[in-house]
Amino acid sequence: KTKTAIFISGRGSNMVALVEASKAADFPADFALVVSNDPTAAGLEWAASQGIDTLAVDHKTYGKDREAHERAIDAELRARGIEFICLAGYMRILTPWLVEQWSGKMINIHPSLLPKYKGLHTHERAIEAGDAEGGCSIHWVSPGVDDGDVIAQARVPILDGDTPDALAARVLKEEHKLYAATVRQILTKK
């Protein structure tokens, strides 16, 4: 199995979906570590309750030196033999340095149908634009924000009177399925 780290910044529902999927005997990833830049991220407690190693590296202790923060994380990943990274609601923009270190070995889930709506407030922007559909994308992480090659997408309808929260909830259900299925596919091929 591919020793894989999940990066989170908050509640970690995508992390939960990945870990639950990995309980199948034939799942190709071993989620050996959950990393957060926020020591208070709720998802860390859940991961620990599952017996998964957790690592909080608070970006605030590094001031403006983003790369120093990432070098500290990277050293831990190497020390633990991590081979692959799934970003799952990790809300820091990565430096080109870290992206380069993990080129071809790091994927992200983003709550829009890329290339539409990179960045934040994706659901609000899709509704305001009058789009008929929203969704989520899994992509390779490249130096540009939310800019790497798309691997897989899932679509949901945008309904009359939808709020960003209602649409986010509809998309999130698809995120959970798509992320597990995509990791299975990518790492089974390797």
Among 4, 14, 37, 54, binds ligand GAR (CB under 6 A): 14
The answer to whether the annotation marks 155 as part of a ligand binding site is: no
Return the H-helix or E-strand segment holding 6: strand 2-8
Cα gap 72→68, rounded to integer Å: 6
The smaller minimum CB distance to ligand GAR, of residues 79 and 93, is found at 93
Is 91 within any annotated ligand binding site? yes
DSSP 14-74: HHHHHHHHTTSTT-SEEEEEEEES-TT-HHHHHHHHTT-EEEE--GGGGTT-HHHHHHHHH
14 is in an annotated binding site: yes
121 flagged as catalytic? no
Instruction: Out of 110, 123, 139, 176, pick the active-site residue.
Output: 110
Query: CB-wise, 78 or 157, nearer to ligand GAR?
Result: 157
134 is a site residue for ligand GAR (CB under 6 A) = no
For residue 66, say whether it is annotated as part of any ligand binding site: yes
Q: Segment near ligand GAR (CB under 6 A), from 7-15, 44-52, 53-61, 65-73?
A: 7-15
Residue of 49, 48, 37, 46 whose CA lies nearest to 9? 37
Q: Is 154 strand, coil or helix?
A: strand
Interacting residues with ligand GAR (CB under 6 A): 8, 10-14, 88-89, 109-111, 136, 172, 175
Residues belonging to the active site: 110
